[in-house]
Amino acid sequence: MARSILITGGAASGKTRFAASYFSGCDNVLYLRVGGEIDKDVKHRIEFDNKNRGVEWEIVSKDTLTPCQEIGSHKFVIFDSLSSFTRLAISRLPSVENVSDKDKKALEEMVINSVGDVLEKMRQNNGNIVIITIETGFANAAEQGFMAVYRDVLGRLNQRIANASDEVYFSASGIQFKIK
């Protein structure tokens, strides 16, 4: 049975460690970093752990707005991350100054449709996915510019993905709490 898990929390709170440990004994896992390079320490830890366990993972870092194309036949995927994917999508806007609510909604729908394609592909593969995201609810509200658009759009996306996920975890200080 396909399962989707969302892990949210602050920066450096243990989200990636949790996601990697979720599939620790599995072979042929896809670690998909969308919207930036994978952190060198994270990559090293994954490679070290996999070598010790005798498993192989595919690690892909790609700036793409169509992440579904990277999944192939993988049954286990770590999607790192909804927040960096959203940031990538926002960076493709002509300007973030004075973005209308209509433009924000269109951006949100584009991201949700792309993530929906990923989730559908995982269902077809009868696989499991862990989606990593940053929790925006603890930051001060930016009034304008990139951070204002980012916070608004990512906050709504987090809610939508959390509601659609089978399980949701919150990570704080390296401890994960199951909230759904």
Give the pLDDT confidence of 108-149 residue by residue, as tens digits.
999 999 999 999 999 999 999 999 999 987 766 666 788 888
Round to whole Å and give the CA distance between 115 and 123: 12
Residue 51, pLDDT above cutoff 90: no
pLDDT on residue 80:
94
- The answer to whether residue 165 scores a pLDDT higher than 80 is yes
**Dihedrals φ, ψ of 100, to 5°?**
-75, 160
Q: Which of 30-39, 68-77, 132-141, 147-156 has the lowest mean pLDDT?
A: 132-141
Tell me how many helices (H) and strands (E) the chain has: 5, 7
Nearest to 80 by CA among 136, 129, 26: 129
pLDDT (average), residues 67-71: 95
Q: Is 77 exposed, middle or buried (0-12, 13-18, 19+ CB in 10 A)?
A: buried
* pTM for the full predicted model: 0.93
**CATH code of the domain made up of 3-178:** 3.40.50.300
- For residue 77, give the nearest of 31, 145, 14 by alpha carbon: 31
Domain boundaries, the chain: 3-178
pLDDT tens sequence across 77-89: 999 999 999 999 9
CB 144 within 8 A of CB 150: no
Which is it for the CA torsion 93, 7, 76, 33, positive or negative? positive
Running DSSP on this structure, what letter comes out for residue 162?
H
For 19-56, strand residue ranges (E) read 29-34
Question: Is residue 1's pLDDT more than 70?
Answer: no
The predicted pLDDT at position 142 comes to 66
